Amino acid sequence: MLTAPKLRTPFLIVNPKAYLGGADTLRLALLTDELAGQFDIDVIFTSQDAYLVEIARRTTHLTVTAQHMDPITPGRGMGHTLPEALAEAGASAVVLNHAEHPMTLAELDATMRRADELGLMTIVCADSERQCRAVAQLEPKVMICEPTANIGTGSMDTGDYIARTTRAVKQIDPSILVIQAAGVTSGADITRVLEQGADGSGGTSGIIAAPDWRVVLEDMFTALKGFQATRGNR
């Protein structure tokens, strides 16, 4: 059982999903890495498996993160992602059960245990409050609580989803770090979710679709730094 990396809070997640080609993903990774160093803020950066090696080699401040993996061990498993392959490529974390790649409960549990064996930090997605509580029982290191209906919309939940699901997770296990990022597009959005209890935030389309990545990322890092200064590094 290896030890997964630790994240200092508050932290950023940059999750380009399948939006970018390899050259653009690397460009975004290098820019994020530069700002992460400058602001001294931790960052989860996800990528397609095929780009992991290059990102891991050329960045120093990012928690290089795969977007899925399968609960297989070395052997059969044609077309499935071997956890060892991700670790060897330089990934130190993996996102599981994203709404765009939902897993059965049994597969999710088995895959999380494989991640634990390899010291890959588990970042597990959940939607409703009940699902958030269920995933919290599986002992993830980090959770992404995200109302599926808001993904990719650029609009945040207007009710109590953020505070309520964060609290539900922390009541089960206060050591789980909670990301709230649905609809987040600016530093002001990030401040708002951190004030409601989240440990990290960031996003996909809110960053990728911005006219200038440096501008939006600097805005987000500034918000994280500002929150950190006010509240202290938890």
Taking the least distance from each CB to a copy of itself, the nearer of 105 and 188 is: 105
Residue in 2, 38, 50, 149 binding a copy of itself, rule: CB under 8 A? 50
One of 80, 149, 155, 160 touching a copy of itself (CB under 8 A): 80
Q: Is 107 exposed, middle or buried (0-12, 13-18, 19+ CB in 10 A)?
A: middle
x-or-dash string of contact with a copy of itself, 26-45, rule CB under 8 A = --------------------
With contacts defined by CB under 8 A, name the span among 5-13, 66-74, 176-184, 217-225 that binds a copy of itself. 66-74
- Interface with a copy of itself includes 109 (CB under 8 A)? yes
Q: How far is CA 152 from the centre of its chain?
A: 15
Alpha carbons 129 and 165: distance in angstroms, whole number: 5
Query: Is residue 58 at the binding interface for a copy of itself, with CB under 8 A as the rule?
Result: no
Annotated active-site residue 98? The verdict is: yes
Give yes or no for a contact between 11 and 199, defined as CB atoms under 8 angstroms apart. Answer: yes
| Residue 171 contacts a copy of itself per CB under 8 A | no
From residue 111 to residue 150, the character string flagging contacts with a copy of itself as x (rule: CB under 8 A) and all else as - is ---------------xxx-xx-xxxxxxx--------x--
Please report, to the nearest 10 degrees, the dihedral formed by the alpha carbons of residues 111, 114, 120, 121 taken in order: 50
In Å, how far are 11, 135, 168 from 172, measured between CA atoms? Answer: 21, 10, 7
Least CB distance to a copy of itself at residue 180 (A) = 17
Burial class (CB in 10 A: 0-12, 13-18, 19+), 6: exposed
User: Count of residues binding a copy of itself (CB under 8 A)?
Assistant: 63
Q: Interface with a copy of itself includes 2 (CB under 8 A)?
A: no
Verify whether residue 80 is a known catalytic residue. Answer: no
Residue recorded with tokens 């245990």 = 113
**Which residues are part of the catalytic machinery?**
98, 146
